[in-house]
């Protein structure tokens, strides 16, 4: 089963889809692809992109990014699958 992960950055600095933090999240949650969101609109856009890429399960996690690194807030929310 293909799994997608949306990282919703709610505080702190910037996170890019090709950064170390994104790849660490992919490993932690066993995801095949990752998307970064800064708003609810970005979550919906990433969800749609992942659905069209054939992801059967999509998770969303909240994160804060700082100079020390990235911190995941709470448990992942299953959006689809």
Spatial separation of the C-alpha atoms in residues 36 and 17, rounded to whole Å: 6
CA nearest to 70, candidates 27, 2, 7:
7
pLDDT for residue 23: 78
> 40-77: per-residue pLDDT in tens?
999 999 999 999 999 999 999 998 887 777 888 999 99
Confidence of residue 17 (pLDDT cuts 50, 70, 90): low
């Amino acid at each position: 089963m293909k799994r997608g992960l949306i990282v919703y950055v709610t505080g702190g600095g910037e996170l890019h889809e090709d950064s170390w933090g994104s790849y660490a999240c992919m490993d932690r949650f066993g995801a095949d692809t990752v998307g970064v969101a800064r708003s609810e609109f970005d979550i919906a856009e990433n969800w749609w992109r992942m659905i069209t890429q054939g992801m059967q399960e999509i998770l969303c996690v909240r994160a804060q990014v700082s100079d020390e690194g990235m911190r995941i807030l709470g448990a992942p929310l299953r959006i689809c699958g």
